[in-house]
A and B are shown apart, each in its own frame.
Chain A
Amino acid sequence: MADDGAIDGNATDDGAAGNPADTAVSTGNSDAIAAAFADGPAYIPYLAVGDPDYDSSLAYVEALDRGGADIIELGLPFSEPIAEGPTIQGAVVRALEGGMTPDRFFAFVEELDVDAPLVCMTYYNLIYQYGASEARSASDASGDAASHDGPRPFVERAAAVGIEGFVVPDLPAEEADPLREACDEFGLDLVFIVAPTTAGERLERIMEHVSGYVYVQARLGTTGAKSDVSDQTTESLARIREYDVPKAVGFGISAGEHAERIVAAGADGVIVGSALVDIVAAGHEEGRSVEEVADELEALSRELKAGAERGLSARDAGDDDDGEGAEADPDPASPGDAR
């Protein structure tokens, strides 16, 4: 299994990315993630790993990569996903019923053949428990109170299979020190979410902790595709404009024109989850072939990626202080400059 690491090649080689790190704000540990934002707006799709089963899920994630993903967020399903709306809850249930576990997740990442750097999105208990059961058995035997290494074993394993960063929706900056330390040790980024309600001291605290990119929650509530783009997005982006870290907007983005408007409003990236999970769910319910579903995921990915690039052109046309406009490709069919 260990040799598969060579196949995925994600993160390591393209991280070097002799990309002219002109505007790249490298506040993170992962060069690959920094590079993903260096050459235009980043398209960051999410899928729950193992939804609806291991093999289909591999094909689906690879389709996202073909569709122009700059970073891929891989959801490791947790039984109590309190930040997720019904769409991703459904994905989590399917993936868990399909037998997804942290170890299978790591095997999946090793087997995956994609170029985009990978970020693991999961809940803290799974990170915290990894390797804990052995520690517990040992401490039970010795009669000591349970002690384990906290998040470190999970992060070490994630780094070994090629994960470049984490998003942990139930881990606010206040509780994040142990995970942050482990991430720093193994060279991974820890992405934090900034909500429409985040301001003042809290915002500053988060911005001190964040690395890689900041996940700007487009609106209040849980994840889920919506047909409009909230004003809260614009306000949130304005509030964090001065911070020198890539800003990726998520929650509710489902079409190319949303991506376009969000990038035009100043985002450095767009995160799309539920709209993609919807395709997987519908394919599963309708019994369609893996290829068909994968094609649809790839097509929506191209649309979103192209929308994001149109957004950058629009922004550059609007305020001409950024020399990157020429890179954006107005042709929606083009995969753009994705790796």
Chain B
Amino acid sequence: MSETETTTETGNRRGRPGRERGRTDGKFGRYGGQYVPEALMPAIEELTDAYERYVLENEDGFMDEFRERLADFGGRPTPLQRADRLSERYDREVYLKREDLLHGGAHKLNNALGQVLLAKYMGKERIIAETGAGQHGTATAMAAAHLDMPCTVYMGERDINRQRPNVFRMKLNGSEVKPVTAGRGTLKEAISETMRDWAATVGDTHYVIGSVVGPHPFPVMVRDFQAVISEEAREQSIEVTGRLPTDVIACAGGGSNTMGSFAAFVDDESVALHAIEAGGSTLEVDEEAGVAPNSASLFAGDEGVLHGARTKLLQDSHGQIMESHSISSGLDYAGVGPELACLVDEGRVNPVAVDDDAALEGFHRLSRTEGIIPALETAHAFGYLEEHGDELRDRVIVTVSGRGDKDLDAAIEETDKRDVAGAPDMSMFTGGL
């Protein structure tokens, strides 16, 4: 099984100093920690212990089974593909790390499969998860079905309406989907509600959090499961070009794609890391309404405590969490992983906000020129490439975090509202609206 071999080789992360960060106390500089209700603390401690034994020490061959299932069930490794037209357009080598080709159509399965498997090793009997765009929910539902675990997914009502096909996919996989009506009904509320479920069911239930957020050990554990993206990409880059990339670009919401795309490069100081956040419609905030019409917590947020961790947040001057916004529901979150917040403060990661318009143009450009319809989340990275391509050096990797099939309705609607260069006429699809 050559795929498994490749994965195993590149999967050897031992000895990378970056992984020591946050390992024991869950602190990344001033960020991280465990700000959770007392009822959850024993579960968090149990999970920390399981993470250290199974993930870090490969006890009972956990990591071997994880990698094997990522290959057989997930389809890893994913290709590192040269994007010919984009390379020509920007006059530098542009490679795409194709996480859209992972089973389920997004990078999310890496983490979901890892956590559901871990829950099984821990003897848990039930899985719960939150989801924003539905990508983490569908990945968790697939992993739960694959590993024969009952699963409940909490999803904001607004997101359910934006992402109906994903709701159906979760149900097809046998998961229960519970709508969350609090607040604006997006990811933030879904996470809060899942934490409430967990507080009542900690004994037999594992909460599969969908990003590098939340209390320790979630940020390090999710990073380690997603790190396979950059481990492969690093190896593939050396294999194909003989060298490391000069720049790695990944979109950032909560940050699981970002940390997964960066983890293996963090210690390669020559590699510039660009985290592309959703700039939404504007970076201005409406303090009165409690709304930040963007999700750029790295770029525009301030330090605070949310959902178990100290990190960078979109909040008002009193510390109330803002309602975020993005054209892509997967980036629509007021917080971000604490490790990313720390890497930004250290100057290791360059945070950039790309607005809805530029993301939508990126969506059309990649679809038209490369034959890849990206998720609207991913499209932000291509918006960045267009706006800042000339600032990058000569070998660029962009992670295609997911495919855009789930976003077709939103893309049609949003395209119809704008004058997007080179986009097809969408009015025939929106005539009834």
- Give A contacts to B, CB under 8 Å: 78-85, 89, 93, 96, 101-102, 123-126, 128-130, 132-133, 136, 145-146, 169-172, 174-175, 192-199, 202, 206, 217, 220-222
In the bound complex, do residue A101 and residue B318 qualify as a contact, i.e. CB atoms below 8 Å apart?
Answer: yes
A-B contact pairs, 21 of them (CB 8 A): A82-B37, A83-B196, A96-B320, A125-B304, A125-B305, A125-B313, A132-B303, A146-B302, A170-B36, A175-B34, A175-B35, A193-B37, A195-B39, A195-B42, A196-B39, A197-B41, A197-B203, A198-B42, A217-B38, A220-B39, A221-B199
Contacts of B192 in A (CB 8 A): 80-82
Q: What is the minimal beta-carbon distance from B72 to any residue of chain A, in angstroms?
A: 37
Residue B147 at the chain A interface, CB threshold 8 Å:
no
Question: CB-nearest residue of chain B relative to A86?
Answer: B182
Q: Tell me which of A136, A170, A198 contacts B302 (CB under 8 A).
A: A136
Q: Tell me which of B33, B37, B345 contacts A169 (CB under 8 A).
A: B37
Q: What is the minimal beta-carbon distance from B162 to any residue of chain A, in angstroms?
A: 21
* Cα of A335 to Cα of B35 in the assembled complex, Å: 39
Q: A172-B36, A195-B38 are in contact. List 16 more A-B contacts (CB 8 A).
A: A79-B290, A82-B36, A82-B192, A102-B319, A125-B306, A125-B313, A125-B315, A129-B315, A145-B345, A170-B36, A192-B38, A193-B39, A195-B39, A196-B39, A202-B45, A220-B202
In the bound complex, do residue A221 and residue B196 qualify as a contact, i.e. CB atoms below 8 Å apart?
Answer: yes
Residue B321 at the chain A interface, CB threshold 8 Å:
yes
Contacts of A199 in B (CB 8 A): 42
* Cα of A211 to Cα of B307 in the assembled complex, Å: 25
Residue B201 at the chain A interface, CB threshold 8 Å:
yes
Interface residues of B in 31-72 (CB under 8 A from A): 33-39, 41-43, 45
Contacts of B303 in A (CB 8 A): 132, 146
Residue B200 at the chain A interface, CB threshold 8 Å:
yes
In the bound complex, do residue B34 and residue A129 qualify as a contact, i.e. CB atoms below 8 Å apart?
Answer: no
How many of chain B's residues have a CB under 8 angstroms from any CB in A? Answer: 38
Residue B234 at the chain A interface, CB threshold 8 Å:
no
Main secondary structure of the interface of B (DSSP, over half): mixed
Q: Tell me which of A102, A129, A197 contacts B39 (CB under 8 A).
A: A197
In the bound complex, do residue B33 and residue A129 qualify as a contact, i.e. CB atoms below 8 Å apart?
Answer: no
Residue B126 at the chain A interface, CB threshold 8 Å:
no
Q: Tell me which of B42, B182, B183 contacts A197 (CB under 8 A).
A: B42
Interface residues of B in 287-305 (CB under 8 A from A): 290, 302-305
Residue B249 at the chain A interface, CB threshold 8 Å:
no
Contacts of A198 in B (CB 8 A): 38-39, 41-42
Interface residues of B in 171-226 (CB under 8 A from A): 182-183, 188, 192, 195-196, 199-203
Q: Tell me which of A78, A128, A136, A202 contacts B42 (CB under 8 A).
A: A202
Contacts of A222 in B (CB 8 A): 196, 199-200
Q: What is the minimal beta-carbon distance from B120 to any residue of chain A, in angstroms?
A: 21
Q: A78-B320, A79-B321 are in contact. Are A124 and B38 (CB under 8 A)?
A: no
Q: A80-B188, A222-B196 are in contact. Are A197 and B305 (CB under 8 A)?
A: no
Residue B241 at the chain A interface, CB threshold 8 Å:
no
* Cα of A102 to Cα of B42 in the assembled complex, Å: 31
In the bound complex, do residue B199 and residue A220 qualify as a contact, i.e. CB atoms below 8 Å apart?
Answer: yes
* Cα of A171 to Cα of B215 in the assembled complex, Å: 12
Q: A82-B196, A145-B345, A198-B42 are in contact. Are A129 and B36 (CB under 8 A)?
A: no
Contacts of B199 in A (CB 8 A): 82-83, 220-222
Contacts of B306 in A (CB 8 A): 80, 125
Residue B317 at the chain A interface, CB threshold 8 Å:
yes
Question: CB-nearest residue of chain A relative to B35?
Answer: A170
Q: Tell me which of B188, B201, B321 contacts A220 (CB under 8 A).
A: B201
Contacts of A172 in B (CB 8 A): 34-38, 41
